[in-house]
Structure 1
Amino acid sequence: MRLRPLALACAFPVAVAAQASTWDAPLPPPALKASPRLQEALPAQTHSQLPTYIEADRFEGQTDIRARLQGHVQLRRGDTVIRADQADYTLADDTVIAQGNVHINRGGNIYRGTRLKLQVDAFQGDFTEASYRFLDTQGHGDAQRVEFLSRDRTTVHQASYTTCQRDDSEGWAPDWVLQARRMELDRATDTGVAYGGVLKFKGVPILPVPAVSFPLSDKRKSGLLPPTIGIDSVSGVEYAQPYYWNIAPNRDATITPTLMSKRGVNLGTEFRYLERQFSGDLTLNYMPDDRLRERDRWSYAWRNQADLSPLLAGLRADWKIHRVSDNDYWRDFSLPGSGGLTNERLIESHGALSWARDGHSLLARAQKWQTLQDVDAPITPPFDRLPQLQWRYTPLALHNPLGLDWSLEADTTRYRARTVDGRQHIDNGQRSYFAAQVARPFLRPGSFVTPKLQLHTANYRFENDRPGRASSHSLAVPTASLDSGLIFERPTQVRGRSYVQTLEPRAFYTYTPYRDQSMLPLYDTALSDFNLTSIYSENSYTGHDRIADNHMVTLGLTTRYLNADTGAEVARFGVAQRLRLADQRATLGYDAPGTKGWSDILVGAGVKWGTRWATDALVQYNRDIQRTTRSAVTGRYSPGPFKVVSAAYRYQRENSTQIANQGSEQIDLGWQWPLNAAARAQTPGNGPAAKGRWYSVGRLNYSLSDKKLVDTVIGFEYDSCCWIGRVVVERLQNSVTRANTRLLFQLEFVGFSRLSLGADPLSSLQEHVPGYQSLRSQAPAAPSRFSNYD
């Protein structure tokens, strides 16, 4: 056998850093880039064909039979490297027996110990008094004995496991560690299972684990998920223990039994699937004999989307079936794992079949609502669509030789609903409408003029008689409008920076004659929001049950500042006002009709101060009472990762004609901000910290008119090198007079599991704090085995 040294050639890329502007983040340090010829995993069929390289200070033995090696011993084959002070290698059975400072590197995973007996190619053998470190998770630990069963399976006896990284201090101990009688590690599935173990945090046992599985990478795996523990005055102590079942790469299920000490046991199941032509999820919850309501409680939800293009090009199907057992379900089930539908009192089920091709689209849909009523705060049930048939046609550009923009839409829908007391709604019936519009844009450099004609016809057939209303009603409403504007540009400079400033005056005219619609129901219609976009629209309402008789002119002026190099919008300022030429007569019945004369003035602005600051503002001013009737000002400051502060002020006067009316006035403040130097230096995925990172996070919504906090979420996060702690106090308003207060606590052991007390605080922060970023939302890329090359 010939001794051969092994050489490794690396190519170092040359990085050239361009000069960064004051708004740019610092450039990352240059890093090695793996060659595309280097394979992360060697094919199994090549293992027996790979050569063996041996190196040592002293060599003795029989050629092609056995060898005794002493001093700086190295044995290499493929992705496996064995180092030791001395070793005996037998070629017949491919076995090496090594002693003294034994070191194994197999695909970047490191093992160290005192004595090793191993069949190299089969990778079967024993390792005594060993320590180990895994490449993917950087998890490591110690063991009395490591038993290699195959290239993928390993059993570790009297073992420990943690992802906390060792430092140079004396007496170092991991913040958390899992100690187990036996661990079975499977690299094929990247999962580990510990038996007879205990989880310790800061040296204190916090959770016995008779059997628990944990990940060896970020791949999905079957096993128990972190439990959720809660204490509630109604349910008592709640314990939810989810189990995740990785059925297949495209299918999985989560089974969650929940024990409520005052009520009983709830079983929840979620099944997800992703196939080539369809995907969806099915959620089931069942609680037999709930002692709170003295009845069985249940809910189910099935959502599915299907692509039926193999049957007919452009054909799709979509359905959602969702139901619960009773009206109190939304208030009684709020914790994760118990099928919570917090504050969801309108539950929708629908089924739809749609087709689209060459500008045509067809829709057949059935939609039904379940309304969960509250005696103290009843809500009007919405109308069901049973069924709806719709056709739309918008021709492609190549079919418009005259430059016309036109479209057609036809719809017929049967609407049914019940009143709050359960009787048939008097407005149940069938509505059919046809809408057509045609426009001819005239576009020139610096100007545009767009005349448009619209026609809306509708027919209503009612199932029930109402005094003064016929059993059917038809109407046709035409609309004419003219939109026009100019665009001027000029180069300018602001504080030494070059911009392109625009000046954009705009005039919009619309006319719709009055048609009596007072006896028509409101199936899908509501008042449009009054803003700088809707002020240039023909109709004051959404939906198809009211066409407002508008005769008015809208005048507006907008100026923008654009980046001279990229064209990106940096700032915009706009003002607009309507002049109504005649009183409005068609209304919804609960809104104030528009009167002849000038409307409120809308003033809006938006500025992006570099990459850190952004502000938006909208003010609605009434000239008659010389007061602001509505205003909204928002601002956001985000100088870097995990640093964001947002603030908003909102004011709405309930009646713009009354000076003394106060309306609603609120201040909203949200933030995520580092509290110490280590946290301020944090960037996504930059590895463990020498010192822990503290963050403050929260949101406060304060009503100035009521002089009280409406919603409050305040918490702290601590990010150590291998665990994250979160504590959150949450108080959310769930009715006019009542609020729900919860204390949420979570320990996240990085690369292992999470333990939560109460609901998941991470979900609460992501839902309620604007711009919140999870501390591990951008994990570093999976390391290469060549980064641990020996």
Structure 2
Amino acid sequence: MRKLLALSTLLLLSGVVSAQEAGYTVNCSSTPLLFPKQMLSTDPENVDVTTDHSEGSEGNYLLTGNASLNTTEYYLSADNIKLNKATKTSSAKGNVKFQGKDIMLTGDSVVIKKQDNKILHTAFEQANYHYPKAKINGQAAKIVDSGNKQTFDLMSYSLCPIGNTDWQMKADKVTLDTKANLGVAENVTVEFMGIPIFYSPHHEWTLKGRSSGFLAPSMGDYTESDASASKGYQIRVPYYFNITTDRDFLLTLNHISTRGSVVEGKYRQLLDKGRIEIEGHYLDKDKIKKDNRWLLNTKLDLSLNDKTELSVITNRVSDRDYLKEIAHKNTDEISLMSSVNMAYDDKIKNITGGVFAEKEQLLSGDAEYTRAGEIFLNKKVGGVGKREANFSIITTQFEHKNANTTNKKEGSRRHIQADFSRHIETNAYSIEPKFTVSKTHYAMKSDANQDRSIYSFGIDSKLLLERNTSLFGKSLIQTLTPRLAYNYTPGKDQSALQNFDSEYMGESYENLFSGKKFTGLDRISKTNDVVIGLESSFIDKNTGETYLTLKIAQAHHLSDTTMQLDGTLVTQNKRSNIAAGADITLDKFTFKNAIQYDTYTKSVARSNTTLSYVLNPRKFISLTHENDAGKRTAGVYGAYPISRKVHLFAGVNRSLSDSITNRKTVGFAYGSCCWAIRVAHFDEYTSAGIHDKVTKFELVLKGLASSDSALATRLEKEIPNYLVDLEK
């Protein structure tokens, strides 16, 4: 019986309405049962029988009046129960109640036939069924299980509590043939609040594995992100093709009222040692731009052997405004990157290597250097006493869309480097000396070749102290870690070397101790610094939770000069900015702050602050503020329940420097025990005076499908701390 309903309801659902697994859970604090739960027998040899009256002869028995059978497998009660010992058949009529280990049923009548102590055939009339753990319930005029085939007449299915039919799925007839691995449903309808929202006259699907079928459509409206400010609506209707167990295809008709209809397809296939994905969109004759517009994304991940991985990624669009105008996606991307990467990793021999190449499609802003080809190899050698040596070589060919313009010269770079380090640690202290030597060769297309040889030396030391203390009435362990480091790199003018990939790192706490000023390999700054720092943490003795962490550090420059990004040496101050940070977590309250304080101007050069009060993921507020060298932005994010079923959510990110609201998100959601709706409006600044405005609507039938699962993904990015899953 459990097999009967498990296969029928769950597989019918996944095949007809939501061909891809939804992965939802239902959150209902308490739900009624069909009848009070019974304790099954613990005696495998005998059947517990109770009845007001019994009669029988020659293996035939009739139980009447509060009759019941209780075995280790099931409980059965009814007004009348007939037992035929010869055919091993039980039949019951009148107020029938059946309980298995995972299922409960009631009905007018049932026939149960057993063979070898296993249920072989069952037939229920006018049945109500209920899975208490999964909270699945429904009705059927007749349920028949003949072993390899199960049939349902006039069936319904829902995950709403018993007695609640806010949404339900209905079918005139469902046949499940487990031997043929085939399911067939006739006249399938999904109803929401009594209104049909989905219908299929005939549907077939495989019982094991995913099935082909329509997925839930999604809809929304938007405002064109150009001067016209035209308003439109969008309807997406997806159909899922389950080709084989290792490949599928999703075909979607995306109708955009102001632009036209976009045909979207996504093909996925599992390989023996990898997978491939191909996604394509095509819009024939945009109504506004009069051009054909398209998108192509591909991804191949393949294990060539146990040490070598291959990844090929393609991301292309017909024009730089496609994502903004057609896809209505978050437009933070300034470029789309396509790449080929083959990586080698021999963990036994400690050898890594690879080949990499990339190509850029610019969407906005200025082009960057791309690595047209790169080969790298690294060998790690371990020694006694935690000594370690790393030897690496990396050769890169750089290209630029604006080649041969000022400072945009193409060429190749070969960098050879050896790192030597040792980690010494006791319970009281740790010391880590390191020495690096490198040689870099530049072969330029239009300039003379250049070489650079340079070395670096550093030592980082810590005292490891701790004590028992208390804070806010809690017994804690306080760690105190004074930290002292010295880093030295001789000064060399590198202004003749092309800068392909180096940028300022910023004077954060960890960057000060690294002895590095730039990312990449083109700039290795002159350094002669003593760095002094202090760290302290307060940790709960019982839980290990850290309540408070404090950090502060400053570098003292022993040299009067340092290097700029252009490679020239310039004078510098005697000390760096002070880098400090504080992280506090107290129950529902969190505070995180990182600052860089300029002691000469007595002002904050950079800072990043987050203040949050989170009672739960649907009742919280977060404030953020960032100061990036004078460019200041602030954010407010939160959610608030105005009742048990309705909550509001919002997020605003605004540039304080130029008084522009970068992104604004507002919306509300209503959730009952078995369904939910959500409406969200996104307003994103794209360029001077132009905003991309989109309103999305989502209907979730819990346990069945969501009309727009992509909405949750975007909200997760736009509103930190917000629980986007409407099932919870």
Question: TM bucket by the smaller chain?
Answer: 0.7 to 0.9
String of CA shifts for 1:487-514, please: whole Å, max 9, x gaps: 4444333344333334433332222222
For 1:423 and 1:218, the matched residues in 2 are separated by 61
String of CA shifts for 1:560-589, please: whole Å, max 9, x gaps: 333445665432222222223334453223
Q: Tell me which amino acid in the other structure corresponds to 1:113.
A: G
Say whether residues 1:361 and 2:369 are aligned partners.
no
Say whether residues 1:393 and 2:387 are aligned partners.
no
**What is the count of residue pairs matched by the alignment?**
680
Q: 1:186 to 1:427 in 2, by over 3 A?
A: farther
Higher relative contact order structure (alpha carbons within 8 Å, sequence separation ≥ 6): 2
Q: Tell me which amino acid in the other structure corresponds to 1:330.
A: L
The corresponding residue for 2:704 is 752
For 2:179 and 2:405, the matched residues in 1 are separated by 61
Say whether residues 1:324 and 2:317 are aligned partners.
yes
- 2:390 aligns with one of 358, 382, 407: 407
> Is contact 2:337-2:360 (8 Å) kept?
yes
Say whether residues 1:240 and 2:240 are aligned partners.
no
Deviates more, 1:407-416 or 1:666-675: 666-675
- 1:742 aligns with one of 680, 690, 694: 694
Per the TM alignment, residue 603 of structure 1 is displaced from its structure 2 partner at its CA by: 2.3
Q: 1:72 to 1:577 in 2, by over 3 A?
A: same
String of CA shifts for 1:696-720, please: whole Å, max 9, x gaps: 3332223333345322222222221
Q: Tell me which amino acid in the other structure corresponds to 2:631.
A: S
The corresponding residue for 1:7 is none
Per the TM alignment, residue 448 of structure 1 is displaced from its structure 2 partner at its CA by: 4.0
> Is contact 2:494-2:567 (8 Å) kept?
no
Structure number with higher strand proportion:
2
Q: Tell me which amino acid in the other structure corresponds to 1:453.
A: F
For 1:591 and 1:208, the matched residues in 2 are separated by 69
- 1:379 aligns with one of 366, 372, 389: 366
Q: 1:427 to 1:263 in 2, by over 3 A?
A: same
Q: Tell me which amino acid in the other structure corresponds to 2:237.
A: Q
1:182-261 → structure 2 map (5 Å cutoff): 182-183=173-174, 195-196=186-187, 198-203=189-194, 205=195, 207-211=197-201, 221-232=211-222, 236-246=232-242, 251-261=247-257
- 1:284 aligns with one of 280, 286, 290: 280
String of CA shifts for 1:510-555, please: whole Å, max 9, x gaps: 2222223223222222211321110112220011111112233322
String of CA shifts for 1:187-224, please: whole Å, max 9, x gaps: 99999876435544334x15242359899999955432
SS of aligned partner of 2:312 = strand
Per the TM alignment, residue 226 of structure 1 is displaced from its structure 2 partner at its CA by: 1.1
- 1:666 aligns with one of 619, 630, 633: 633
Deviates more, 1:519-528 or 1:666-675: 666-675
SS of aligned partner of 1:548 = coil
String of CA shifts for 1:367-408, please: whole Å, max 9, x gaps: 2223134xxx5421431332x211112223xxx136533321
TM-score with structure 2 setting the length: 0.81
The corresponding residue for 1:132 is 129
For 2:435 and 2:164, the matched residues in 1 are separated by 77
SS of aligned partner of 2:456 = strand
Q: 1:95 to 1:305 in 2, by over 3 A?
A: same
> Is contact 1:634-1:647 (8 Å) kept?
yes
- 1:603 aligns with one of 580, 590, 608: 580
The corresponding residue for 2:652 is 700
For 1:126 and 1:85, the matched residues in 2 are separated by 17
SS of aligned partner of 1:100 = strand
String of CA shifts for 1:417-459, please: whole Å, max 9, x gaps: 3229x99995222210111122345545534444432212100
- 1:623 aligns with one of 596, 599, 610: 599
Say whether residues 1:150 and 2:126 are aligned partners.
no
Any gaps of 5 or more consecutive residues in structure 1?
Answer: 1-27, 30-37, 40-48, 167-171, 654-662, 680-692, 779-790
Q: 1:240 to 1:566 in 2, by over 3 A?
A: closer
Q: 1:555 to 1:327 in 2, by over 3 A?
A: same
- 1:553 aligns with one of 530, 543, 568: 530
1:658-737 → structure 2 map (5 Å cutoff): 663-676=630-643, 679=644, 693-737=645-689
Per the TM alignment, residue 640 of structure 1 is displaced from its structure 2 partner at its CA by: 4.8
For 2:455 and 2:572, the matched residues in 1 are separated by 21
For 1:125 and 1:298, the matched residues in 2 are separated by 55
SS of aligned partner of 2:713 = helix
For 1:344 and 1:146, the matched residues in 2 are separated by 60
The corresponding residue for 1:267 is 263
For 1:71 and 1:214, the matched residues in 2 are separated by 44
Q: 1:705 to 1:317 in 2, by over 3 A?
A: closer
Q: Tell me which amino acid in the other structure corresponds to 2:127.
A: A
The corresponding residue for 1:351 is 341
For 1:448 and 1:332, the matched residues in 2 are separated by 56
> Is contact 2:369-2:398 (8 Å) kept?
no
1:41-52 → structure 2 map (5 Å cutoff): none
> Is contact 1:645-1:670 (8 Å) kept?
yes
String of CA shifts for 1:717-776, please: whole Å, max 9, x gaps: 2221111222222222334543222222222111222234xx843222222221222456
- 2:296 aligns with one of 300, 308, 323: 300
For 1:730 and 1:108, the matched residues in 2 are separated by 44
Identity within the alignment, %: 22
String of CA shifts for 1:120-143, please: whole Å, max 9, x gaps: 667656544333334564232334
> Is contact 2:178-2:207 (8 Å) kept?
no
The corresponding residue for 2:421 is 439
> Is contact 1:183-1:194 (8 Å) kept?
yes
The corresponding residue for 1:648 is 624
> Is contact 1:329-1:341 (8 Å) kept?
no
Q: 1:408 to 1:725 in 2, by over 3 A?
A: same
The corresponding residue for 1:102 is 96
For 1:718 and 1:191, the matched residues in 2 are separated by 37
> Is contact 1:215-1:751 (8 Å) kept?
no
TM-score with structure 1 setting the length: 0.75
Over the aligned positions, Cα root-mean-square deviation in angstroms equals: 4.1
For 2:345 and 2:271, the matched residues in 1 are separated by 20
Q: Tell me which amino acid in the other structure corresponds to 1:762.
A: A
- 1:763 aligns with one of 710, 713, 722: 713
